[in-house]
Structure 1
């Protein structure tokens, strides 16, 4: 085995155990223009620079794009906040990384399937695929096949939920992908949520502690996100 391969496989067991056991499917629907949608490619690695609101509920599809996300580290906010229980509201932390496992199209709808991966697993997942990936892909496709004919969940069409979810994963407000080699600083008003999600999901291992540099983020981005 060459040296580069050995390096990629370092901590592979810890990476695997962070990613797959307990992973659940979550949903986020949005309307994307074709020039945005076409930027997503199978095998791509993404970084999402903000807190990602998702639902464990996956009903019928009104919008043209569904992000379905397999994650073992989504915080179940609906269990601790009755105001968001009707949405099945879960949240994936800011600066989370994802691998695009599959892009699946039916009729005029597209499903983008993402696997939530740890910060120190980017090299591993850029080169390695697991048998679990194909199992997840098959499950995600079946979900889309079944749900595309279902009625939508009314609560997930409410203005409050749409305002939190109607944008693509991994892109900033200008529809540019967040760079992988930097992370976005968490503003003071978001620190409690950030640490709370890590604690709720037992996400405290070094395998998900990024060592890459921090990028500056305009205050307006976070102000609009937190409503301040």
Structure 2
């Protein structure tokens, strides 16, 4: 029964991460329907919502983190290793993109295409929504997704169990909502596997969060400057 309830908790956290990601998309796509006061109100409410989510998730995570891991810092060597993981993710992404073009004729994955399509709302849109969307992609989403897809499954489902099993399950769960065909699935599974390895190298979720931010932030900055 406990494993079933913990599985529901993990699924709930993954669903929560999807809601956090979808909210700015909804605000951007419907921004013309809102008056300026309502735009500001909804934007500020989203900021408060995200702040509460981050605080609650991080507080829960810290309760399960050992004192040894809490005392770890990210040193120069750790940053170098994070860059190597990032490079591996970029190689997987490039190979996956080429394979997806050959398989489906799409120039990019459906997930990336959906993100890029929202830039059409940037030019004359509400600046706060654009900033929130870009900040979400570059910083917030990596933090929430690493907690939801890797840290919390480890705390609630796989603690003391096989790391191979944990890596396999969490990689599949990470790939499923990011993909629409088999090539995209294996692409995101490869990326998810590297993120899991980054996490398990020291057992510190900050390592995989750093790698995830390194992967997302350049694209987020690029999207932001497409506004101008």
Larger RCO (CA under 8 A, 6+ residues apart)? 2
TM-score (norm 2): 0.23
Higher share of residues assigned strand: 1
TM-score (norm 1): 0.23
Higher share of residues assigned helix: 2
